[in-house]
Structure 1
Amino acid sequence: MKRIFLFVLDSVGIGAEPDAPEYGDAGTNTLKSAASSPFFHMPNMEKLGLFNIEGIDWHSGTDAPLATVARMQEASKGKDTTIGHWEIAGIYSGRPLPTYPDGFPAELLDEFTRRTGRGILCNKPYSGTDVIRDYGDEHVRTGKLIVYTSADSVFQIAAHEDIVPPETLYEYCRIARQILTGEHGVGRVIARPFTGNSGSYTRTTGRHDFSIEPPSVDMLDQLRDNGKDVIGVGKIHDIFAGKGLTEYTYTQGNEDGINKTLAYMDKEFEGLCFINLVDYDMLYGHRNDIDGYARALTYFDERLPEILGKMQEDDLLMITADHGCDPGYTVSTDHSREYTPFLLYGKRIAPRNLGTRSTFADIGATVLDYFGITPEFEAKSMLPH
């Protein structure tokens, strides 16, 4: 039984891409910023060959890396989670998903209000924790929904669980998803329930993402259509709007994501287990928390021997990222346009250094190649032949 475990370390970029200045991201380097912390320690990833990847000249590599490694360059336009994951799976985006630095147009919000029966607060880019602090009291008093965005292509709705029960909030998000199509087809509509009292509002774990559906056939579809298992762990189901998956589970942070992946490694299946570990991005990158980011990377490294220890003879382990979110780039708390790492380890795979690849989609082509499937998108496998 052939199995692939593909980890996306959300936002772990490894240096600015050539077009980064067009995105306001010149000089960004997420991994290097995290490595500046005294809490950064990744000896197991070093053994695999992380620091042998092209362009990582600020840390010495190992003389005998255990994995095949490459630096991945994004061919799509954009720097968000959806576009990054889509390209990994073989979907190219010729333009970035729409963003709203000045808030959403009145006609969109008027239609949303008409269909939900609730008014709107905020309507501008905002920190998720700050927005409930600043608008929470008015929301509780009036019942109006807190609608906000960020530098990403997102339409976020925050509501107190005592005012708007989570299931009702999810229904409002489905309404927004129906409205936000075409030129206003944002990547994700996100439910942001919170609880607590004035001065101490807290977001809950009831977040739910309603993503735009992938526009074409991708790696997940091809695997499923060829009878393979396609298991999503973490945000994968939401990022792909469930398309192409045969099974999925949500997670409560990186530790839970790793634990659930280890549980899948004890099961028999043939196909792909596709994992997103989101804490790097959500908890640390967007908050410019260098030490927190470093601790999270160190934690993954500490758990890596468990993952390697459960690998069967024909299993492959892939580790990559979807974009950057440099915690040391104090000009911004947004995603950054960066190269991403790629590491491929298998007991039957000889280590190689593949330099820089021109697209994330080579990962999807590699996955399909391992199962003898020809990709229906333009990309090249990184397996030796």
Structure 2
Amino acid sequence: KRRKKREKMNREKLKSKLTTAASKASQLKQAAYERVGRSENSLEPEVLRASGRATEQLSTCTGSLAKALDRSAKSLVASVPDFVALSDASVGLAAAGIDAGRGSASADRKGGEAALLLGELLLGWADGLDNLASAQRSSATVLRDTVVADANRALAQKAVYDKARLTAESARDRAAAARRADAPGAKIMAADAEADEAMSRLTAEQLETQQALAEASGRGDATLALQVAEQFDAYREFFQAGLSWLVTVAPAVEELRESALESQKAGYKFDGPGGKLFGAPFPEDEPPAPILALCAHVAAVGLEEEGIFRVTGFKSRMEKVRAEIESSGTFEAPAVSEGGGGTFAHEAASLLKQYLRELPVPLLALGGADADEWIEAGSAPNEILMREALLPLLRDLPPSAMTLFTTLVE
């Protein structure tokens, strides 16, 4: 019984000691929180003043950037008339080339010449845009490297400043603790001196950090303004050169267009080998006229039809019209009442699908690229990369295949 009584008394004493220790720990924790709060309150005005000075310096850099951009914008506005004239001329020339291309089935081949001339124009335009894109990428790389280097230096300086701030806070806390503990005067004076020295270092690091941030911002802004101005000048020169080239080429295209339109009045006539169209190799000079006529018919009456390329047309109608195309080399849509029900839109779309399906070499493979290359190009993550990947494949297509492909896309 005595042993159990002693054990009980020991447990109670231990419990009392633990309670007392927990209470003291809580008091110490609360006191530490209060000291940190006072340190933060004393440091906040200094941080606000430093932030205000940094904001003023950044505002000065932003003002210089605004002036540089204003000068560049005026240069761009001066080049707008050239750009508008170039766009108008391009639209007119493209329309003339398309009209000439529609007459390319005639015997005189004038339309084919116009289509080739238009293709040369478009390739030249694409090359010019590629060159501008390369210049932009190069400028962006220079700008990025400059800004990243300055930003890294500013971040490193800011890290030094943050470390100095923590040192100053710690010194203040130690000085305050020495006063509260009624330490000897020499110890309090040493703590105050340590705190003053830490604050001096903090102020110096603040100034260096502000200067580093201002230099990084100013250098980045100046580099950006210079690159923007250079890009505006490059665009202006490109537009002026393109306009001069169009002025030279436009009369020749107009002459070919008029000649092609005169030939077009005689009507389309397919002159393939033996009159065979479906299953025959795709012509190298121009698309078969009946196929272009099928495309035109679908565009005219089939775009509002539900499932135009999904629902198959009447088999009897399709066989009859296909035989007429093979024998005469021309396509004329039958009257709506023939064969019963609806329009001829689904039959025309089905015949168009049959022709493309029966080609010995697929239309988009005529340039030498296989399906995997087209799929890879069309799977680019954004429009710019997709355009860069598809453009070489389109350039490799024969003119006749490009004409039919453009018609299908339209």
Question: TM-score scaled by structure 1?
Answer: 0.21
Higher relative contact order (CA 8 A, sep 6+): 1
Give the number of the structure whose alpha-carbon radius of gyration is greater.
2
More helix by percentage: 2
